[in-house]
Structure 1
Amino acid sequence: MPDILFYHLEPRPLEAVIPQLLEKTLERGWRAVVEVGSTERADALDAHLWTFRDDSFLPHGLAGDASSDAHQPILITTGTDNPNQAACRFFVDRAVPQSAEGYERIVYMFSGHDPDAVAEARVAWKALKGNNVLTYWQQEPGGRWVKKA
């Protein structure tokens, strides 16, 4: 049964948070798939991960090349497949998890500044709650994460 973590973004945007979570994912020895809601956001996230910090390198790629997708430690996609056999799947920018099957961890990130995204998160929580263990994390004003449920 996978861990399912809901991250409610408030003071810090996705671009400030996801690189750190991806670094921790790689430190665990896991591969990751990051599912985004559009190809434009996939391109923007791809560019951001190359430049988010001068002293860091997050090996990743955009899905679409069958010969290299399977080898990417982090794969950014708009699709629902798992071509790099990732243990951890991130859902960001309005991509909503439908199932946790096949993963060790699911990370669902949504903006607290977007009422539609909050509503989608509530629906996803109810849909995934069944036999899964869910945790809910919310940012405090300083950016620190607090476990709320």
Structure 2
Amino acid sequence: MQVDFYHLTLQPLDRVLPRIAERVVEGGGRLLVVAESLDQRAALDRLLWTYTPDSFLPHAQAEGEGDAAQPILIAEQPVAANTARNIAIADGLWREEALEFDRAFHFFDEDRIGAARVAWKALADRPGIERRYWKQNDNGRWEQAA
């Protein structure tokens, strides 16, 4: 199980999440995107349609008729109705259920850095978990820092 911590400093979530989602889907995987706020889930839904003029990421918000068929599903809870093995925690609130997936992307900004550190430390001694910490350099490129 791999947990990637993405510290959002230079680029906001709406610039980073779509690229990760593209890679997951292009690789044949499915993604569950989790956010507690209804407003954030609605914004993510709009984002995945419009983040670039030529983009198309098939997705839906959870609790619809076609959840099981969706490559990307946006949900309040970490329950993969689309059988995703990848989870993106978009609101910065770590959830232990993420450990039931093969890979977790934990996005957080300065407002959530304290909670991200707590999650990072809590996962340190857990067997079978590979943690990676990604930060942006001065050019905005992602570098693995731990």
Structure 2 length-normalised TM: 0.93
Report the Cα offset of residue 78 of structure 1. 0.8
Cα shift readout 1:25-71 (whole Å, capped 9, x = no counterpart) = 11111000000121110001101111110111000000112x31111
What is the Cα-based RMSD across aligned positions, in Å?
1.2
**4+ aligned runs moved over 6 Å, structure 1:** none
Give the counterpart letter for 2:14 in structure 1.
Answer: E
SS of equivalent residue, structure 1 residue 70: helix
Matched residue, 2:46: 47
Q: Which residue of 2 aligns with 1:60?
A: 59
Deviation digits for residues 50-100 of structure 1 (CA, Å, limit 9, x no counterpart): 1110111000000112x3111110000111211111010000123312144
Q: Taking structure 1 as the reference length, what is the TM-score of the superposition?
A: 0.91
The 8 Å contact of residues 99 and 128 in structure 1, kept in 2 or not, is answered as: no
Secondary structure at the aligned position of 1:84 is classed as coil
Aligned-partner SS, 2:7: strand
Q: Does 1:133 align with 2:98?
A: no
Tell me, yes or no, if structure 1 residue 14 matches structure 2 residue 13: yes
Matched residue count: 144
Q: Secondary structure at the match of 1:122?
A: helix
What residue ranges of structure 2 are gaps of 5+ in the alignment?
Answer: none
Sequence identity of aligned pairs in percent? 39
Instruction: Tell me what 1:26 maps to.
Output: 25
Contact (CA 8 Å) 1:70, 1:85: kept in 2 or not?
Answer: yes
- Counterpart in 2 of 1:103? 101
